Amino acid sequence: MIQLWHLINANLRKEYIELKRYYPNTITMIVQFYFIFLAMLLGIHVVGDPQQIDTNVQYVIVNYVIWFFMLTIMQDLGYVILFEAQRGTLEQLFMSPLGMWRILLARIIANLVIYGVIVSVLLVLSMATAGEWLVFRIDVVLPIFLISILGMLGIGFMLAGLAIIFKQIQSVLNVLQFILMGLAFVPLSVAPYLIFAPLVKGIDMVRHVMIHGYTWLDFSFWDYSALILNSAFYLVLGVVIYLKSEKVAMEKGLLSQY
Amino acid sequence: MEKIIQVKDLSKTYKKKKTKEIVKAVDSVSFDVYRGEILGLLGPNGAGKTTTIKSICGLLVPNGGSVHINGYDSNKQRLKALNYISAVLEGNRNIYWRLTVRENLEYFAGNRGVNRRHIQDKIDELLAFFDLKKKETELVSSLSRGMQQKLAIAVALLADTDVLLLDEPTLGLDVETSYEVRDLLKKIVEQQGKTIIISSHDMPVVQDVCDRTVIINGGKVVADEKVEDLIKLFDTRAYSFTIEGQLSEKQTRLIQNHFPIFDVQDNQVQITVEKENDLYTMMDILKSDQTKIEKIDRTTVDFEQVFMQLIQKEGQDDPAVASH
Ligand SMILES: Nc1ncnc2c1ncn2[C@@H]1O[C@H](COP(=O)(O)OP(=O)(O)O)[C@@H](O)[C@H]1O
Ligand SMILES: [Mg+2]
């Protein structure tokens, strides 16, 4: 347990060092976020009836933030594998007695912490600039978000597994963001079977909180069960597929190839 | 002595991507490694050294056989086994080029679950030992190949495992740095009592650094001996003939066919015999063209000749490397 802490710590430091060292990229990212948030917030004034638009804009912003984090979680592990394979350090990571999956976990936690801080700060900053404050039940949204994350983490591991075996997976990772965007913006009421897809149930619940003012008690037992089961299913499936992929790669001698 | 690594009937085949041809990279290889020794895994390119090393590291799942490290199966109990080994793999990509020297040391230790603050002294020690102290805040990408290699070894040492595996540690280094690395490795064994496996296709490295050598060729073990014994064994069989004049072409061909290892310099012909009879065969060959023998001496062979001879035995029908 304490080892896991030091592992996360080391990876947090590494990510932080690289963000700092290659700061032009980092600054571009920060500026991008700031202006996207600002544009969305100012949209409240520009587009018609503030009473009505307000909730929609708030929802769009929250949805955008969720979509961004989900995308990060989904793609990041695959990219970690690809980059490490290209740099040739992948095999050294596989030499850790803590196991590669824990290193991947540490990397994603590190990134979530870093991006979490960046996005929160910029969100507050852009709200202050626009003079427009988001008001929503973050106490309800955040737990739903965190449970949804676990399902996406499963997808992330799945893609990381595929990346170990098929090193040409980059284009797949890119295409997936559009699929994910689709999932994030289609309401369940339109396509009920999407409840079996990852992420959709969570987003749908967030939508109810944001637009229809749902709180804890407005959701049924089934809503929570579906959310948790969906996430648990994808998490377990993802990790199993990842571990299986590791074995296949070691059987075929693919760790050193890219 | 305690066996710390047991390689038993290890086999590994690859399927070539394009041709779908099956390559037997390692074929039923067995050897043991004892605690505190420094073992050389010697063989020409493509012999299966890297495959063997990676199987020990659990980076490859073997098709047959097993590797045990401190009793743990490196495949079935991979993570447990990894507690006892660290490795510097082939090439110069064991470390992050975008991090500094010290950051690399800290990062890889952290990846094994070590507290960064607890290892600062140890890091300073290693930096001093490898003469990298002045470079500690420099990016790895700006270091020379030799310094990168020393850092990679330092990173592996920081893990403080019982066994250290080094795949071709002097490959691509200039002569001077190669000697420096060799000396450092010898010191590490002396001072820290580590068990080290070094793979190399470079005989002097193994002869200089290792206690014992396992020679592999074509995926098979062809010798497993103490380095000094191996040389002694072959020493007693090496003869130098001083002749009058030169060998005829026919004689050269005959000698080449009969003696895998031979060396001609002016009127000196050196051969290594395997059976007592071989000596007479040599005399017959010389007599066939009435070549006069002035002197026959026992001589010493160098490790390279031993190596060539062992490898020759495997591929008898390939005379291309018979002389040097
Ligand atoms: N990933 C791989 N895919 C296919 N063939 C491989 C792979 N790795 C090694 N080989 C083949 O296996 C044999 C042994 O290779 P290797 O273990 O790298 O030898 P060495 O390290 O002694 O040079 C060689 O013939 C090599 O071409
Ligand atoms: Mg090799």
Per-residue model confidence as pLDDT tens digits over B190-225: 888 899 999 998 878 888 899 999 999 889 998 898
Predicted pLDDT at B270: 80
CATH code of the domain covering residue B292: 3.30.70
Same domain, residue pair B204 and B244: no
- Number of structural domains, chain B? 2
Same domain, residue pair B185 and B271: no
Contact (CB<8Å) B97/A7: no
Give the count of Cβ contacts less than 8 A between chain A and B: 98
Same domain, residue pair B150 and B270: no
Give ligand 1 pocket residues (Cβ under 6 A). A 253; B 14, 16, 23, 25, 43, 45-51
Hey, what are B276's tokens? 């007592």
Residue of B34, B9, B14 lying closest to B189 (CA atoms): B34
Whole-angstrom Cα distance, residue A97 to residue B83? 5
Banded pLDDT at B137 (limits 50, 70, 90): very high
Predicted pLDDT at B83: 97
Same domain, residue pair B226 and B241: no
* Residues by chain with Cβ below 5 Å of ion ligand 2: B 49-50
Contact (CB<8Å) A95/B99: no
Residue that wins the pLDDT comparison between A55 and B55:
B55
Give per-residue pLDDT as tens, B75-116.
Answer: 999 999 999 999 999 988 899 999 999 999 999 999 999 999
Residue of A7, A19, A13 lying closest to A106 (CA atoms): A7
**Which chain A residue has the Cα nearest residue B77?**
A97
List of residues 6+ apart from A195 with CB closer than 8 A? A188, A201, A226, A230
Same domain, residue pair B146 and B274: no
Domain final position from B231, B258, B273: B231
In this complex, the residue of A3, A13, A89 whose CB is nearest that of residue B113 is: A3
Banded pLDDT at B128 (limits 50, 70, 90): very high
Give per-residue pLDDT as tens, A167-195.
Answer: 788 888 888 878 877 777 777 788 888 88
Out of A152-156, B5-9, B25-29, B242-246, least confident range: B242-246
Residue B319 reports pLDDT greater than 50? no
Residue B308 reports pLDDT greater than 80? no
Is residue B218, in this structure, part of any structural domain at all? yes
Within the 58-117 window of chain B, which residues sit less than 8 Å (CB to CB) from chain A?
58-61, 79-80, 82-83, 85-87, 89, 91, 93-99, 103, 106-116
Is residue B267, in this structure, part of any structural domain at all? yes
Cβ-Cβ contacts under 8 Å, A18 against chain B = 98-99
Residue B235 reports pLDDT greater than 70? no
Predicted pLDDT at A193: 83
Same domain, residue pair B50 and B182: yes
Whole-angstrom Cα distance, residue A95 to residue B86? 7
Predicted pLDDT at A50: 53
Residue B311 reports pLDDT greater than 80? no
Contact (CB<8Å) A253/B14: yes
Predicted pLDDT at A224: 94
Same domain, residue pair B205 and B267: no
Residue B324 reports pLDDT greater than 70? no
CATH code of the domain covering residue B203: 3.40.50.300
Contact (CB<8Å) B115/A6: yes
**Which chain A residue has the Cα nearest residue B93?**
A88
**Average confidence (pLDDT) over B303-323:** 55
Contact (CB<8Å) A89/B94: yes
Is residue B318, in this structure, part of any structural domain at all? no
Same domain, residue pair B26 and B117: yes
Same domain, residue pair B194 and B248: no
Closest approach of chain A CAs to the CA of B1, in angstroms? 26
Predicted pLDDT at B316: 45
Q: Which amino acid is at A181?
A: M
Contact (CB<8Å) A103/B111: yes
**Average confidence (pLDDT) over B117-144:** 96
**Which chain B residue has the Cα nearest residue A248?**
B61
Mean pLDDT across chain B, nearest whole number? 88
Is residue B311, in this structure, part of any structural domain at all? no
The interface predicted TM-score (ipTM) is 0.90
Predicted pLDDT at A98: 97
User: Do B211 and B194 meet the contact criterion of CB atoms below 8 Å apart?
Assistant: no
Give per-residue pLDDT as tens, B147-175.
Answer: 999 999 999 999 999 999 999 999 989 88
Residue B321 reports pLDDT greater than 50? no
Domain final position from B185, B203, B231: B231
CA distances from A22 to A79, B171, B283 (A): 17, 32, 73
Residue B314 CA to ligand 1 center (angstroms) comes to 18
**Which stretches in chain A have pLDDT values below 70?**
44-55, 258
Domain residues for the domain of B158 are 3-231
Percent of chain B with pLDDT over 70: 90
Give per-residue pLDDT as tens, B237-254.
Answer: 778 888 888 888 888 888
Same domain, residue pair B23 and B114: yes
Same domain, residue pair B57 and B204: yes
Same domain, residue pair B125 and B171: yes
Residues in chain B: 324
Residue B23 CA to ligand 2 center (angstroms) comes to 15
Is some CB atom of chain B closer than 8 A to the CB atom of A49?
no
Whole-angstrom Cα distance, residue A56 to residue B281? 99
pTM as predicted: 0.85
